[in-house]
Amino acid sequence: MLKKLNLRQKFTILLIGILVVGLSLSGLVLSALLRQNATNEIASKALTLIDTMTSVREYTITQITPELSDELDTKFMPQTVAAYSAREVFENLRKRPDYRDFFYKEAAINPTNLRDKADSFETKILERFRKEKNLNQVNGFRSLPGGDIFYIARPLSISQESCLQCHSTPDAAPKTMIDRFGAVSGFGWHLNEIVAAQIVSLPASKVIEKAQQSSLMIVGLVSTIFIAVIFLVNVFLNRQVIIPLKRITRVAEEVSTGHLDVDFDQISNDEIGNLAKAFKRMKLSLEMAMKRIRRSQGGNTGGTAGH
């Protein structure tokens, strides 16, 4: 099949083959790199959200709770609870398009509010934080019935004595809080103890989607550049190789039919130019041979006429 194609068509097929094979091989590597890059970018955003929620917690503990602590004797105010403030602020943040796919949870084994109860997967994360004291964060993917999610978690510890007012013993906690949440969960905490894990998560499809968008953009850009290269190579090949070869072929055909008045023009010093130079020498040799033949024939004719 290739024997029936001209030189330009063969080069085009070769370059397209290189493009297809190159994109196929690099696509696998590129996909993994872009997915890792997307994961790192989203993880960085999630860590910023965790830092923000930590700041909200500290603000609540240091400035809100002291101001409203006297009111807790007559009415429980969830606004004095750091976990509640962080959750509410995050829910308001989720109303913005850039954060609507993110979820926040302070997963605890022994929470005051059962909404924050850690499941088996979150419990393993929390236990790992307790065992590995130097571990500051973990992230990865987990499977849920609704689909895979990407998560990132940081340990949450009791850093201030004021927190133990509500979480040391039921007797020390405000009565209004006991009336609302009961005296079973959320007690027995100690200062500097890791009691929960701050977890930010989002659907894994968002990570994959972000990687795919980057991958498509890069593949499209590379393909466009390579198509432009194929076009330029064809233009160069046509001007520097095909047209000179056609000219040499046409002149050679005329010489072969006896038209020795045509000439091979050497228009370059490359291999095509050397080919033209070789044909030119061949034409000169042919002309010299033809002249010798004519002289020989002329001499033979004269000798015959003398007899």
* DSSP characters over 59-104: HIIIIIHHHHGGGGGTS--GGG-HHHHHHHHHHHHTTSGGGTT-EE
Predicted local confidence at residue 217, as pLDDT: 78
Beta bridge partners of 138: 153
Cβ proximity of 39 and 204 under 8 Å: no
- Radius of gyration in angstroms for the set of CA atoms belonging to the chain, rounded to a whole number: 42
Q: Rounded to whole angstroms, how far apart are CA atoms 289 and 293?
A: 6
Predicted local confidence at residue 287, as pLDDT: 77
CA 258 to chain centre: 65
Q: Which of 187, 51, 166, 161 is nearest to 109 (CA)?
A: 187
Q: Which residues, including other chains, have CB under 8 Å from residue 213's CB and lie 6 or more apart?
A: none
Q: Rounded to whole angstroms, how far apart are CA atoms 94 and 161?
A: 31
Predicted local confidence at residue 306, as pLDDT: 54
Q: Exposed, middle or buried: residue 74 (CB in 10 Å: 0-12, 13-18, 19+)?
A: exposed
Q: In what side-by-side order are the strands of the sheet with 138-144?
A: 103-108, 194-203, 147-157, 138-144
- Give per-residue pLDDT as tens, 43-92: 888 999 999 999 999 998 888 888 877 777 778 888 888 888 999 999 99
Predicted local confidence at residue 137, as pLDDT: 92
Q: Give this prediction's pTM.
A: 0.64
- Give per-residue pLDDT as tens, 270-306: 777 777 778 778 878 877 877 788 788 776 655 555 5
Predicted local confidence at residue 233, as pLDDT: 81
Own/partner long-range contacts of 66-71 (Cβ < 8 Å, ≥24 apart): 66/162, 69/165
Q: Rounded to whole angstroms, how far apart are CA atoms 94 and 147?
A: 20
Q: Rounded to whole angstroms, how far apart are CA atoms 211 and 222?
A: 16
Which ranges of the chain have pLDDT less than 70?
1-6, 27, 260-261, 264-269, 299-307
The single residue listed with the structure tokens 């990865």 is 140
Q: Rounded to whole angstroms, how far apart are CA atoms 83 and 113?
A: 9
